[in-house]
């Protein structure tokens, strides 16, 4: 894996147009996060244009957070278009274990071979067919408990699987990395996980999926640590976090990650 | 009524999973407000899962802000499921007097016996069948002018009715309380009223409706006063407000409320 | 044209109720921006009430950002109601060149004679039938390159056309103005362009379209310059910008605009 700054710079140089089909809660902050990072987000989900737009985008992210039948169909249309073009796309299976509708839609989408699947521990356990303890968008399981499920899911689907939490875990079924960076206040700001999925999509537009995912998660966590230095609570954290994503240079990313010990991810098996 | 800190602590100890069917404008800030307060919000509204999710939630809030026929049906499905389970649910009848659609949907929902109804003066007057002066989501009437209507509505429906404004009024038709706390800039930040409805739902998940509603409104107003001390306008107020909701301890809440004279709400008849 | 403060004061004195049919990404920030400016925004788009609500509003804004067939029909219903009442309405043709659906919907709406059309250079070029280089919501063209297209579009449609970017251009086909004010960080905050459309609608509710549009754009740009003085990135810029819109007095607007050289817009032809 190259220095982290390589992946950030490659993404910014491309300013990838990323189509996002995401939930209502996340749309605004996700767009701001992606703009701050250096991508060009577009929230395009309608039946009449989701597939057509996938023809001009550089990557696609799909998040099932606020779901209904119409949206589910549009997600399938866009993911099908992405798969046909060989365009990378990232799946965020929000609260997949909570209702039958979510399980069914997630299964339809996974059949369309996402490049990356990013979820919390409960979601990844649910996707891998394990009984999970999450409810709603929050997780009741630890990342460590989901590592085996993540590896199995990666092998079954061919996707890079990222389990995010206090310590992130990324695997493609053959190699894996842990990323222990970020701040405990991050789960108290809504849609930061959803927004991360968009950032992963932007990085994956420019580089190989496993390395790009590791770089995106590390960049995100480092920005979280920078933001926490000045924040007074979840409100000011969100503001400082967007500022930090924007201000982060490649050099600062490499230096911060080295201090935190994540410059050389441990690769497993 | 116990000390206010009791209700805040009870809610936080439970971290209630609150299902919210709310408007597009409010979703993000409502989720952030509820997370900062200590609840676990989930925005779940689809026909295919609204009722199922109501089976795992601890409380439900329904807000008719951005309404259409499909959403109205899902609101009815979720409220029906809540009523069947005996789960508390809170209705926010946004702009109910403005159009025929809103009146009709509000009537369908009130028939499902909400635990609490929270609105501004114009909305409560409209629900009680009085000609109101509001338009859109803003009120043209004073809370004082709506007290009689609120009492009638509480008796008719069995709900606790909260009229919020410069001075809030809470009634169950037998006892009532005034809460004079908050900051005049709050109506200039969109969706703070909607978000309050979610906080009321979280408190009502843990305690008796009248007392929990009084406690939620007081907590909210106290956080508003704290935020106003550092804010420079509505933008920085929102940020400081979310920080204040999160930082507020039970002791700080009791002390602040005592200084403001709301530690012992005046109970009327 | 009168002093800029005249238009700001006239809008604030009226506190116009502005109906907005806008995209999911923009709804929250647009409401906050409009409240901070002094208007009364209402996000009302449902088939069952869009036209009825247009009967009580003072102005309407329509933004095609997150579009589907149902929303397109509601936009047409509301614009038809506005046109019948002679109520001013403003069209924001987001990403109009990107998909066939957007072109078709924009054509239906333009036939209903918007009072003002506000877009970026690529959108105005696309509307005028010129090949544009934009993708998604971002522009790939300069405002200067779109001036001819804007003039043609204004003559064809009878609308005031505003092309916004580093230097804004406003034309009614006979007279035109350039407005060189604002800050380069503004395109990195999502939905600030969409929100501006709502502010234009509020100003147009109170004054003649060309002058009101010039005043709204100048007020917006001046607030952007004020915000940039304290912001550290796009996150803190959004917060400071909303504060600045709210704090701006008529005198401060006139003084700032004079310093920036926009107190007397250059009228062309």
Could you give the residue ranges of the DSSP H alpha helices within chain A?
A: 4-14, 27-37, 50-54, 69-85, 100-110, 121-127, 147-157, 192-204, 209-228, 234-247, 250-259
The Cβ of residue C229 has, within 10 Å, a number of other Cβ atoms equal to: 9
Contacts of B100 in chain C (CB under 8 A): 48-49, 52
Assess A234–B contact: CB distance below 8 Å, yes or no.
Answer: yes
Tokens of C4: 């800029």
Mark yes or no for CB contact A236/B246 under 8 Å: no
Residue B229: pLDDT over 60: yes
Q: What is the structure's pLDDT at C44?
A: 86
Q: What is the structure's pLDDT at C261?
A: 58
Instruction: Please report the sign of the dihedral spanned by the C-alpha atoms of residue C228, residue B35, residue B50, residue B213.
Output: negative
In whole angstroms, give the CA distance from residue B79 to residue B111.
10
End-to-end, the C-alpha distance of chain C in Å comes to: 15
**Residues in B 42-61 with any Cβ partner in A closer than 8 A:** 42-49, 52-53, 56
Average confidence (pLDDT) over B220-228: 97
Chain A: closest CA distance from residue B224 (Å): 13
Question: Which partners does chain C have (≥3 C-beta pairs < 8 Å)?
Answer: A, B
Contacts of C48 in chain B (CB under 8 A): 67-69, 99-101
Q: What is the structure's pLDDT at A109?
A: 97
Looking at per-residue pLDDT, the higher value among C138 and C151 belongs to C151
pLDDT band per the 50, 70, 90 thresholds, residue C98: confident
Residue B28: pLDDT over 80: yes
Average confidence (pLDDT) over B85-109: 93
Average confidence (pLDDT) over C241-263: 87
HSE-CB of B178 using CA atoms within 13 angstroms: 12
Q: Where are the domains of chain C?
A: 4-260
In whole angstroms, give the CA distance from residue B117 to residue B153.
9
In total, the C-beta contacts within 8 angstroms joining chain B to chain C are: 103
Mark yes or no for CB contact C240/B235 under 8 Å: yes
Which residue from C minimizes the CA distance to A40? C138
In total, the C-beta contacts within 8 angstroms joining chain A to chain B are: 105
In whole angstroms, give the CA distance from residue C52 to residue B101.
10
Could you identify the residue written with the tokens 């920036």? C260
pLDDT tens string C5-62: 999 999 999 999 999 999 999 999 999 999 999 999 999 888 888 888 888 999 999 9
Average confidence (pLDDT) over C56-74: 91
Chain B: closest CA distance from residue A135 (Å): 8
Global pTM value:
0.94
Assess B28–C contact: CB distance below 8 Å, yes or no.
Answer: yes
Q: What is the DSSP string of B155-188?
A: HHH--EEEE-SSSEEEE-SS-EEEE--S-TTGGG
Assess C189–A contact: CB distance below 8 Å, yes or no.
Answer: yes
Residues forming beta bridges with residue B21, ordered by sequence position = B62
Chain C: closest CA distance from residue A97 (Å): 26
Average confidence (pLDDT) over B58-69: 91
Share of chain C above pLDDT 70, in %: 92
The Cβ of residue C2 has, within 10 Å, a number of other Cβ atoms equal to: 10
HSE-CB of A54 using CA atoms within 13 angstroms: 28
**Residues in C 116-145 with any Cβ partner in A closer than 8 A:** 135-138
- Give, in degrees to the nearest 5, the angle at Cα C211 between C129 and C201: 70
Residue of A15, A21, A22, A44 to mutate, interface with C, max C Cβ within 10 Å: A44
Q: What is the structure's pLDDT at A258?
A: 79
Could you give the residue ranges of the DSSP H alpha helices within C55-98?
A: 69-85
- Mean pLDDT of all residues in chain B? 91
Q: What is the structure's pLDDT at C99?
A: 83
Looking at per-residue pLDDT, the higher value among B134 and A122 belongs to A122
Mark yes or no for CB contact C95/A46 under 8 Å: no
In whole angstroms, give the CA distance from residue C244 to residue C256.
12
Task: Return the closest-CA partner of residue C116 out of C51, C23, C35, C207.
Answer: C207
* Distance set, CA A235 to CA B193, B200, C149 (Å): 17, 20, 43
Task: Return the closest-CA partner of residue B115 out of B199, B209, B39, B195.
Answer: B209
ipTM: 0.92
Chain A: closest CA distance from residue C95 (Å): 9
pLDDT band per the 50, 70, 90 thresholds, residue C258: confident
Evaluate whether the domain defined by C4-260 bears CATH number 3.40.1190.20. yes
Residue B134: pLDDT over 80: no
Q: What is the structure's pLDDT at C132?
A: 57
Task: State how far Cα A178 lies from the chain centre.
Answer: 15
Assess B65–C contact: CB distance below 8 Å, yes or no.
Answer: yes
Residue C110: pLDDT over 60: yes
In whole angstroms, give the CA distance from residue A235 to residue A250.
27
Superfamily of segment(s) A4-259? Ribokinase (3.40.1190.20)
HSE-CB of B83 using CA atoms within 13 angstroms: 17
pLDDT band per the 50, 70, 90 thresholds, residue C205: very high
Mark yes or no for CB contact A28/C23 under 8 Å: no
Contacts of B102 in chain C (CB under 8 A): 49
Residue B3: pLDDT over 80: yes
Q: For residue A242, give the nearest of C23, C98, C234 by CB distance.
A: C234
Q: What is the structure's pLDDT at B132?
A: 57
Exposure string for B170-186, b = 16+ CB within 10 A, e = fewer: bbbbebbbbbebbbebb
Residue C186: pLDDT over 90: yes
pLDDT band per the 50, 70, 90 thresholds, residue B97: confident
Q: What is the structure's pLDDT at A134?
A: 58
Q: What is the structure's pLDDT at B144?
A: 86
Mark yes or no for CB contact C135/A242 under 8 Å: no
Q: What is the structure's pLDDT at A14?
A: 98
Q: What is the structure's pLDDT at C263?
A: 44
Tokens of C143: 């405002």
CB under 8 Å, gap of 24 or more: what pairs does B169-172 form? Answer: B169/B143, B169/B144, B170/B210, B170/B213, B170/B214, B170/B217, B170/B265, B171/B147, B171/B268, B172/B209, B172/B210
Which regions of chain A are under pLDDT 70? 130-140, 260-269
């Amino acid at each position: 894996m190259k220095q982290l700054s390589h992946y950030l710079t490659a993404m910014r140089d491309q300013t990838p147009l990323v189509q996002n089909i995401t939930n209502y809660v996340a749309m605004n902050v996700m767009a701001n996060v992606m703009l701050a990072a250096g991508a060009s987000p577009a929230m395009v989900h309608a039946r009449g244009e989701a597939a057509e737009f996938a023809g001009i985008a550089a990557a696609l992210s799909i998040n099932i957070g606020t779901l209904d039948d119409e949206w589910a169909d549009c997600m399938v249309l866009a993911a099908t278009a992405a798969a046909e073009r060989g365009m990378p796309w990232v799946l965020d299976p929000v609260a997949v274990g909570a209702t039958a509708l979510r399980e069914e839609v997630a299964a339809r989408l996974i059949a369309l071979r996402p490049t990356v699947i990013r979820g919390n521990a409960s979601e990844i356990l649910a996707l891998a067919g394990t009984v999970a303890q999450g409810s709603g968008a929050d997780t009741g399981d630890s990342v460590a408990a989901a590592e085996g499920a993540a590896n199995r899911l990666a092998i079954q689907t061919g996707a890079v699987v990222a389990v995010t939490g206090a310590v992130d875990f990324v695997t493609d079924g053959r190699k894996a990395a842990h990323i222990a960076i970020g701040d405990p206040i991050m789960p108290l700001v809504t849609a930061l996980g959803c927004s991360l999925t968009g950032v992963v999509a932007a990085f994956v537009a420019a580089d190989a999926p496993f390395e790009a995912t590791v770089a995106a998660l590390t960049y995100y966590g480092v920005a979280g640590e920078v933001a926490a230095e000045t924040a007074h609570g979840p409100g000011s954290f969100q503001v400082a976090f967007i500022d930090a994503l924007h201000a982060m240079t490649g050099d600062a990313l490499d230096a911060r990650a080295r201090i935190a010990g994540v410059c050389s991810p441990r690769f497993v098996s």
